[in-house]
Amino acid sequence: MTGRFRYVRALTVMVVLATSVGLSSAGPAPTTIKLGGTLAVTGPFAAEWGPVYQQFMREWARVVNEQGGFMVRALGRRLPVELMLYDDESSADKAVELYERLAAADNVLLFFGPATSPITLRASTVAERLRIPMVAMEANDRAIFARNFRYLFGTLAPGIWWTRHYFDLVRQAVAEGAPLRTIAFVFEDTAHTRDVTSGAIAYAREAGLTVVDQQVVPFGHSDFSAILARWRTLNPDVVFLGLWTGPSIAFIRQARELGLRPREMYVRALAFPFIQAAGTGAEGIVGATYTARRALDDRSQRIFEQMNRDPYDLPWVANRIVALDVVRTAIERTPSLDREAIAETLRRPDFEVPTIIGRFKFSWDLKLAGATLNGHGNQTAYVAQIQDGRVRIVWPRELADAPYRRPSR
């Protein structure tokens, strides 16, 4: 496709013969179920998503369709799924344009959300205005879910809970003698990284750590020399990076060059590009991932085998697995392929879905940090550690691949 919209690829198994998304006596029944969304294939957020997530979505569609697609109750049979996936170039403005296109030109039944909270914040306004349900895959800011939107549903737990598992681990490690007493924070000035870091500061204090410094930097900041000079004097036991992947890589490299060597370093996301770029400097670093090998189901395992990828290369892929299971369940439990009816199914207080994280459900009227949130999910991040150059889940214990290597005296 040419023009100002960059069409990554329409993922389909058959030619679309009907464009109606509903079952109407005035026209032919649909032959596919169209789902549409965008992804940060290029641009600054591509370091955490990029083409490999595009590949995963393609493989997911293929495997689902090999298994018969989605059951449509009104037809009494299954239909294949067609994914319309565009590159939003890590731009919220671009994403808005593309979601409007997905509605007007591609006539999708439902939206799946884009990568990142900053882009979802804007893109979800299209869903609300057009009354098309959007299931957000990678968004957890309070600001997104405090607007009382009726057509936005997110699978992740609130961002301020992001590090709950990590500080549970720290509390236990300290009780067992780990020399972790002080912590310093640096974070980017975006809603997501602010939420993650504000929650982490509260958890750190609850765990008995002393917060010796908090530094906020602009989005995309890359020169940390002044902060590193200050922290060499403060000598914190733990350094917490509430940064996106590109700035995290820059921080690690500069910390190595300037001689900052904390006992432990936590990064917001243990994305594969971070591990590649940080090299030996990443050894022992801990951070967040939503993907746990021991939690994956047979379908997910099959997809990774077909991709020839380690599941830990894609820390956010479990978000997509859960969200797509939610979409599937909502469609299959609704009597018709009607957007409003599907939205009502998603809003039901008894709507629960068996997923790789266990029972999934949405929260409504959740009072949290001065805001009332609606449509948040219950999926939380795990704790991983780089051990011998590879990602290993170390907490919670029931999903751990390896024991946590705690700092020694």
Cβ-contact 86, 8 below 8 angstroms? yes
Residue 137 burial (CB count, 10 A): 30
For residue range 283-313, what is the model confidence (pLDDT) as tens digits?
A: 999 999 999 999 999 999 999 999 999 898 8
- Mean model confidence pLDDT for the chain: 91
The mean pLDDT value for 182-190 works out to 97
Report the percentage of the chain scoring pLDDT > 70. 93
Quote the pTM value. Answer: 0.89
Parts of the chain belonging to CATH 3.40.50.2300: 9-158+316-373, 163-267+270-292+382-399
Q: How far apart are CA 274 and CA 48, in angstroms?
A: 8
Q: How far apart are CA 70 and CA 78, in angstroms?
A: 5
Q: What is the pLDDT of residue 194?
A: 96
| Angle CA 32–35–39, to nearest 5 | 145
Q: What is the pLDDT of residue 308?
A: 92
9-158+316-373 CATH fold: Rossmann fold (3.40.50)
Classify residue 3 by its DSSP letter.
Answer: S
Superfamily designation of domain 163-267+270-292+382-399:
Response regulator (3.40.50.2300)
The mean pLDDT value for 20-27 works out to 45
In sign, the C-alpha dihedral spanning 265, 295, 118, 89 is positive
